[in-house]
Every structure is written in structure tokens, then in C-alpha cells.
Structure 1
Amino acid sequence: MDSAEQGLTEGDLHGAVVRLSDCIQLMQADLVHANPTPENLNHAVSDVLMYDPLDEWTSVDDRIILAVGLTCGSADFDQLLHRASNSNAAAVIVKAHGTPMERLRSAAVLHSLAVLVAPDNLDWTRLVALARASVMGAAADSVSGVRLGDLYAFANAAASLTNGAASIVDPLGRVLGYSTLPGQPVDELRRVTTLSLQEVQPPAFDSDFKIVYASAGAVMIPGVDEEMARLALAVRAGGELLGSIWILDPGEDKREPALNALDRMAPLAGLHMLHARSASDFGERRNGDLIRTLMDDPEHASFAAAQLGLDAANGLAVAAFSIVRPETGSLESVREIQRLLHLVTTVCNIQFNTSHSALIDSVVYALLPCEGTGPRAAHRRVVQEIGAYAHTISSYPLIAAVGGIAPRVEDLPASRSEALQTLQYLLRAQSPAAGLFEDYRIPLNLLKVGAFIAETGLSDVDDITKIQAHDAQQQTDYLGTLRAYLASNGNISAMAERLHVHNNTVRYRVSRLAKDFDLDLEDPQKRLWLWLRLTTMDLGG
């Protein structure tokens, strides 16, 4: 729980009691109660805890415990139920993963503990945020009677409480809802943003948003020129930034009560934004599915392009982005890749006034339009700009690559393949960077040659294979000598400098190499083959 939530719980809720039944209703996460009774439904709830069997047991009184990675019948799950029941926990949430409901009900009844069963495909990260926001939201009743996720109705309620026109904005700068109460003064900036449903300046590059995001509670942002001052609050759930609420300053006499009202409604705002995002998740998944169809299924590409409203008249190019980190399954890595998706979407919107991006298999893809006389310069600029801001979302390096231009939507799979080839080459080269496919065309083509050599068995019994086997058995380094010879074009002095040995030593090594393996190093075709084999081996890692 962050500092803003902590302060609200202790200072502003005046000891309000939150019941388990209230939390279940507010979460709307398709939870199934294995053993509902009046007693456990009325159990007080204070917070949410993600359970780890290896963690030291802390106070769980009145907490909802999430049994991440545990299954009914395991020793760890049985231990959790025993400890949770003895510690007066409010409930345990678990995924069934095929366990019959009757078995879960029996375990719950045995320990006299509420057990809630979550869908197997429900993301734990989202559930934590929903559960925590529900606990806070159930305790704050400053905005009631608004359907969860209806951000326009919530904005009207917020405007009524604060006496100022309200807007709700997500981290990308999209206006998700705004108030429509008559009689409240507005300025030109408010008119522009409500008409376009988009902030003029993306939050990632706006100093006012940065001030709001860095503040623990509601703050006032002074007006500039003809703009009115604004009261603003960053909205979070479980530490995750969901967006912000902006209120046009109601005036000095009403400002302090309005700031206090904003702080009080923070938990409910988080709950509403989480549910609104859940509704929009369907649209994002559909968008991702359509982009996947474009890149994987040429037969249905034109249909997907029409559904996306994609303008492909001048061609498109696929850009691919990935964060280079040692492990990819952690909660933080998931958050980082989502932040990367937001960054790519924001920068593409700024550069091209449109964005078609999606997260597919841990890679963020964007479809880049090819407008004007120099589309590749624009493509290079956009991936470099994204790379420049990468440090704001992760401490790990970012790699980015753009495939070639696809003249038709049916050609997008080839552009995606080129982008991925370039991405993988940069990863193998351990040189995180951003570039276009043509920047690396030669090494990528050589890698294809190397793959052909391996697939057709041309390397099975050639000289390089023999030298490798000898080096491995005799602990020699003839391959290193050959590599230096080819890289130096047979120049003895250059080889000696490269190998840090005397010229005579180089001559001896070369003569032994030629004699022991019957190599005619004067034959240009032989040298070409040896160079090709070594180069493709080195490029392929």
C-alpha cells in the first residue's frame, strides 16, 4: 500500500468497516465463493496479501490472502489455510486448476475460512490491484451510486463534489471521461482536450503531469497565460499508475475543500479506472489479434486492415521492440513490457499521428506508415527516440528493429520476419541498439548462408569440422590461427600483431596448419570457403 492510500485509510475513513461481501461485489472478478456463510461474508477486510510459503509469517488479521502458485491438496496450501484460519484472515483466493469445487468447499469448511475461487486465466497482477482497490473503495463512500467503470458518470460526481469541471486521463494522455455539468467554467485547453479526447502534450513529456505523478496527494497546478489553474490527483492501485483526475480550479474559497475531496475519492477513482480498463482490455486484445492476423495470415490481412481502419496505401513497415533482461517471467518484467507498449504507442502517436501497436509473445510490435519522401528516416528517428526514453521504463537495455517496407498488407509477414531477424541478431551480438533491417543486411544474409550450410550437411566433414575436433582433443588453437590468417589476408606482420606473438611464431603456426590439415591456403576458392564457414559460425554464436 503506498503512502497516499495509507494516509487515507488512517485519517479520512473514520474507522469505516469494509466487509468481505462488499469487496467481492466491487471486484467483479468472477470469483466463486466455495463456502458462503453470513459469518464469513460479514468478516471485516483491512488489506490484501500475496502469500509466499517462504516468507516470514506476518500479521494477516482481516486480510484477503492470494494463494499464488498453490493448488488445493498441496502441503503448502493446507498449511496456508491452517495459518490463515488461526490468524483471523478474511479469505483466501485460489485458482482451481481442475480441482473439483466440492473438494475446495470441504477444505474451506474444515478450516472455517472463506475460500474464493478465481478463474484459471485471471491475471494475478490484475487481481491484486482489483482486490486492493476494492478494499479502499468500499471504505470510501464519497462517490456512490455510480456504476463501476462509468468514468463519465464518475467525472460528473467528482465535478459536483469539487465544484469544478473534471477530466479523467490515462497515462498515455487519452481522456477517458469528463464532466458535463452545466454552468461550470471551462477554458480553451479544456475544450480542445474534450473534443479530441486527447491531451495536447503526452504525459510522458509534460512537466505538469510529472509533478502530479510525483505527489502523494492532490495538488494545484497554476495556470499559464489564459489557462485556468487546475487541481490534479494521480490515481494508483497496488502501486500501479492508472492515470489522473484534473479539476478546473473552483476558486480560492473552494480550493482546499476540493483538494480534500479529491484525496478522499482516490481509492474509488482507482476502482473505477481498473474496471474501465478491464472493459477496454477486450478492445486491446482484439487490436492485438488483428495485428497478429496482419503479420501471420496474409489470406485474411485485408479484412484485419479494414477492421483496424489501417491506411496502407503508401506501404507499412513492422517495428519490433524488446527489453533485454536475464529473466522474463517476473512481475516486474511484465510491468516493464507493458510500459514499453505504452511508450511505443505514445511516440508513434506523436510522430505519425496514429498508432497501431500490440504486445505479442513478449515483443512489442508497431505498424509504421511510409509517408513522404523519406519514410526510412522517419522510421529510424522513431525507434531512436523510443530508445532514448527506454531508461524511464526499465534499467535493462532496449533493442529495436524495423523490417523492410511492405508495399501491401499481404507483405507484412516478410517485414515482421526481417524485424525479428534483426532483433535476434542484435541480441546475439550483445550490442543493444536500434536500427533498420538494411543496416544489418549483410550479416543477416550471411546467417542465412550459414543456416543453409548446416541444413544441407555441407559442414559435416569439411576442414573446419576437422580442425574443431583436433582443437578440442589436443587443446590446440588452430582455428584461432586460421581466423587470424583470413582476417589479415595472410599478412604475417598483421597476424603477429593480432595474436601478440613474434612473426616467426606466426610462420610456424601457419605452416603446421597447412601441413597437418592438408590446406592449400593459396587457393582462393579454399580461402573463400574457410572464411565463409568461420564468419557464419561467428555470427551464429
Structure 2
Amino acid sequence: MLDPEVPDLGQVLEVLGSSLLRPLSVLPERPVPVSGVLIFERRAPLPPVRDAILLAVGVGTAEAQAMELLASAAEAGYACLVVKSFGEPVTELVEAARRSGVVLLAADEAVAWHHLDAMISSALASPVRFAQAGGAPAVGDLFALANAIAGMAGGATVIEDPHRRILAYSTLPGQAIDEGRRQGILGLQVPDGPEYDEQYRALARAARTCRFPAVGGGLPRLGVAVRAGGELLGSIWVVDTEDCLDSAAEQTLADVVDTVSLHLLAARTAVDAVRRRRADLLRRLLADPSGAATVAPQLGLDPNLPVMVAAFAVASRDADDVLAAHAATRLADLVSLHCEAHYGRHGCALIDGTVYALLPSGPSPNAHRDLVADIARRAHGALRVPVQAGIGALVQGLHAIASSRADADLVLRALTDRPGDPEPSQVATIDEVWGSATLSALARILAAHEAPPRRLGPAVRAHDLEHGTIYAPTILAYLDANSDIAAASQRLSVHPNTVRYRLLRAQEIFGFDLSDPDERLVLWLRLRLGDQLGW
């Protein structure tokens, strides 16, 4: 008979649900004890942990290594192997699992391995199994869970995420709440304040249930941090109405924290899946705005709604920087989080290192700019890297979204092309940088074409480099000064006659005519944009 203190695989699968883990091979009729969960490391030997669940991270079901890993797991006494198929065939692996006696499970491909590891670990905790068996709320039903905790602990309960957003609250009659709790529920956000800050810092450091005194004329509370491994997932707070909750209430919170951990992980996984789907829809819309009528309803938008596009990017000088790529992924999460809070879940998408967000028509364009600037500042504070953001023009309907995106991209390019190191957070609209944005667009055109054939800008710069002359800066200073010799000489700190001589010699050497307005314009553009074009 199975030891009641050792979880059974069937119990674990029941707790997690078929959306996260589903059997590929037939489950044995006998109970299958599960002792723990491990992640496979390619370059490390497989530890012999009997009855454990092994996560086959990075191993494709069609690879020869999958067969080798299955055989090694069977030999070491593992209970089951978890794989992600991604559409690859699994028939041979299933047959091999049947022969070896190892249960083969398929994980939801949208769930990150470390999330799955934490969820299985939480499901293996005995309080979770017993709560599930006793008719506890289904995984993901946080409001029912808050009511259950409030009933057991004896006080009004809230469940929060790590950013102090209230995810769920109890509604049992007869349990008092204070004004701080009431305001938090109304805004689904814990009010700011130094007293609250100190309580949250203390809670994050503690490994047990904590008691906190009343803040601002409110009521005292019990609190406990919710974790999965070393990751802080959120917290549970119970109002102590008359300062009478005893050690039994503290133990109740300690007992349910693993259950709440499982619920929070499941809720986050569901939100992540929805967010990925919306990001995919936005990518489709940005790539092909002609499909706006089909995509818009799935994003919860009216296809004729006026919108603008904001583009966010990490200001890295090295496009291949691995750290910058990681920061861009985290930036996408931050932008999604803030945009969802203000505009609803219309979707944010990370495309080639740039995060795009839809900004539906609001009370004023300045409101959009203020929000984007706030997101950029917060992202810089969280990521510790410079963050830039460009805002495109307002367009009348999603079918014209490509125009607003192009504007936002131009703004980002104009910010990137500014000389010097990037500021911690830079934000601009297309109207604010239309001049430099236009030059950036022209630079891309010039880079793709070789007209005029003589490539005057590069030729002048090459001559200066080879012969030690300074014709390029002299011509550019002259053109920047609207053909004013005196002003150009002041910029260069030389005599006006020196400027005249250099200009005459340059025209003789390179064959252009500074009296021709068209040649002046093209020459100025090529010299002005030389750094951007690599000339």
C-alpha cells in the first residue's frame, strides 16, 4: 500500500490538470510513488533518484538522445520522463517507455520549464495534495481560495502578486476590513506609503508567518510570503480585526502557502499564454494591416478605432549583445504589464529587439506620451540599461497601423543616431523629432542607392583620410552656416580666406559646384549623414 506521506503520480496529475501535463503512455493500474522532480542537465551525469520525475529540458522527442535518456532514467529508477514534442513524432519513444516501465508525460509547450518545475514541486507538497483531495478550490480560482483561507484563519484575506497588485480578496460576511484594505480592493493595488514599504521588505526576508501592527489607523495583519523555490510569487495577508488571531491562524497560513504557490503559478502560466497569443496577433497585424478586420476582434478592439504605436528598445551600441537581448525580453514583459493596466490586454510584441505596443485613442496625445515616458523610466530603473521609446502619429483605424509603426521606428532611429552616450530614458513623438527622423529615413535611402555615381561625400572623406586634409568638415561647416563664409570661419576657428581657399580647392579636386542648389543639398546630406552611413 502506498505511504500516505509519499505522493502518487495520479494525485500529482490531478492537481496540475491535463492542460499542463498529459500522459503519452498508459498509466499503470498500480500506484506510482513520486519522490521529487529534477531537471536534466546535458553535460552532467544523471543522478540516481528513485521514483523522481525527470524534466527532459532541451531534448527533442525525435532525437537519439531522448531514447538514451529514457533508458538511463529507467536504469536509475525514475518514475516518469517529461518531454515537449513541438509536433515531433513520439511513437517510438512511447513504445520504448512502455517497455522500460517509465511513464512518459508531455508538457504544455507554452509553459516554461522552470515554471513547470516549481508547479510540480508545489503539487508534491503534502498540504497541497490534502487540500486538493478535501475539495479545495480548483487551481486558478484565487477568489474561492481567498474565501477558504479567510474561513480557516478567521480574518478577511487578500492574495497579492510581488508588485502589490491585489489578485483576489475574500468576501465572507461579518469579517471587518479597514480603509487601507478598502482602497486597495477598489484600485486592486496596495496604497503607497513608507510604512507599507517596510512591511513588505520584512515579509520578503522572512521564511514564516509574520505579524504586523496597524498602519495609518487601520487594523493589524498577519502576512506570509508565497514562494516557488527561491522565486517570490506574491503574498497572503489576513486582517486581525481585534488583535485576536492566535498561533492557529499563523499555522493556517503556513499550511496553505504551498497551495497558494501552485495557484499563483497556474494563474501566471495562464496569463503568460494569453499574453503570448495577443503578441502573436499584434505581430500579424503589424506585418499585414489588411487583416485588421479579422485580428481586431481577437484583440478586443474596434478595427476603426484611432490608435498610435509606441516602440521601446534597449539602447545598446552592440546589436549582438546577449545581455541586451535578455534585457529586451524583460522590457517586453514590463511594457506589457503597464500597458495592460492602462489600456487592457490589446497586446505588446517583441520583434527583432523592439517592443511594440498599441495605444488606443485616449483623452489626449500628451497622456500617451506621459505614460510611455513613465514606462521608460521604470524600465530603466528595473533593467539598469538605457531605454528609448518612440511614439508614432495617431492613425484613423488599425488598417493604417503600419504608418504609425514606421513613425515610431523612425523616432527610435533618430534617438539612436544622436551623438554621445544614450540618456537613461529617452522618449519622443514623431512631431518632436521630425527633422532628425526625416534625415534618418534619407540615410537609409542613400545607403541603398549609389547615386550620384561619384559618391561625393565618401570621396571627400576618403581624400581627407589619405592626405590629411580637412575638406569635409570645412564644406559641412560652410553648408551648415547657410553658405556664410564668416559664420563658417568662426565655427572652424580659422580665417575666412582659409575657408574660401579650401572650398575652391575642393571644387577643383572633386568637381562639384557649390553655386548649384541641388548639388549643395545632396553634398550636405552625404556629409551630414556620413557617420550614420559608415562613410
2:332: which partner in 1?
A: 337
Cα 1:192–1:496, aligned 2, differ >3 Å: closer, same or farther?
Answer: closer
RMSD: 4.3
Identity %: 28
Residues 306 and 206 of structure 1, relative CA distance in 2, 3 Å threshold: farther
Residue number in structure 2 paired with 1:426: 415
Contact map agreement 2:141 2:263 (CA 8 A) in 1: yes
- Alignment partner of 2:443: what SS? helix
Aligned length: 508
The amino acid that maps onto 2:28 is P
Aligned equivalents of 2:348, 2:314: Cα separation in 1: 12
Distance 1:92 1:45 in 2: 13
Contact 1:187 1:228 in 2 (8 A): yes
Which residue of structure 2 aligns with residue 367 of structure 1? 359
Aligned partners of 2:97 and 2:193: how far apart in 1?
47
Out of 220, 225, 231, the position equivalent to 1:229 is 220
Q: Is the 8 A contact 2:20 2:107 kept in 1?
A: yes
User: Which amino acid in 2 is paired with 1:227?
Assistant: G
Q: Is the 8 A contact 1:90 1:114 kept in 2?
A: yes
Deviation of the 1:39 alpha carbon: 8.5
Q: Contact 2:66–2:93 at 8 Å: present in 1 too?
A: no
Q: Equivalent residue of 2:245, what SS?
A: helix
* Cα distance in 1 for residues equivalent to 2:195 and 2:53: 38
CA distance in 1, matches of 2:174, 2:509: 95
Distance 1:257 1:391, change over 3 A: farther
Q: Does 1:91 align with 2:77?
A: no
- Tell me, yes or no, if structure 1 residue 327 matches structure 2 residue 322: yes
Relative distance call for 1:252 and 1:202 in structure 2 (3 A) is: closer
Instruction: Measure how far apart 1:282 and its partner are.
Output: 6.1
Distance 2:14 2:267 in 1: 16
**1:257 equivalent in alignment to 2:252:** no
Corresponding residue for residue 538 of structure 1: 531
Partner of 1:400: 389
1:10 equivalent in structure 2: none
Task: Pick one of 103, 117, 120 that aligns with 1:128.
Answer: 117
Match of 2:481 in 1: none
Match in the other structure for 2:259: 268
Tell me which of 19, 26, 35 is aligned to 2:8: 19
Q: Give the whole-Å Cα distance in 2 for the aligned partners of 1:69 and 1:200.
A: 40
**Correspondence 1:443 to 2:436:** yes
Contact between 1:23 and 1:138, CA under 8 Å: does it hold in 2?
no
Q: In 1, Cα distance between the equivalents of 2:262 and 2:121?
A: 9
Whole-angstrom distance in 1 between the partners of 2:303 and 2:47: 56
SS, match of residue 428 in structure 2: strand
CA contact (8 A) 1:53 1:76 kept: no
Maintained 8 Å contact 2:335/2:348: no
CA-CA distance at 1:248 after TM superposition: 1.0
- Per-residue CA deviation, residues 222-278 of structure 1 (Å, 9 max, x unaligned), is 222432122223333354443332211255442433223212211210211233344
Using the TM superposition, give the Cα deviation of residue 166 of structure 1 relative to its aligned residue in structure 2, in angstroms: 1.3
Q: Verify the 8 A CA contact 2:390 2:428 in the aligned structure 1.
A: yes
Structure 2 unmatched ranges of 5 or more: 479-484
Look up the equivalent residue of 2:160 and give its one-letter code: V
In 2, distance between residues paired with 1:133 and 1:192?
32
The CA deviation at 1:492 is 6.3
CA contact (8 A) 2:159 2:168 kept: yes
- Normalising by the residue count of structure 2, what TM-score does the alignment of the two structures yield? 0.78
Partner of residue 7, structure 1? none
Alignment-derived partner of residue 36 in structure 2:
46
Q: Distance in 1 between matches of 2:264 and 2:290?
A: 37
Provide the rounded CA distance (Å) in 1 between the counterparts of 2:10 and 2:325. 31
What TM-score, normalized by structure 1, do the two folds share? 0.77
Give 1:104 deviation, angstroms: 0.8
Is the contact made by 2:460 and 2:472 (CA closer than 8 Å) also made in structure 1? no
Deviations along 1:152-175, whole A, 9 cap, x unmatched? 221121112211111223345554
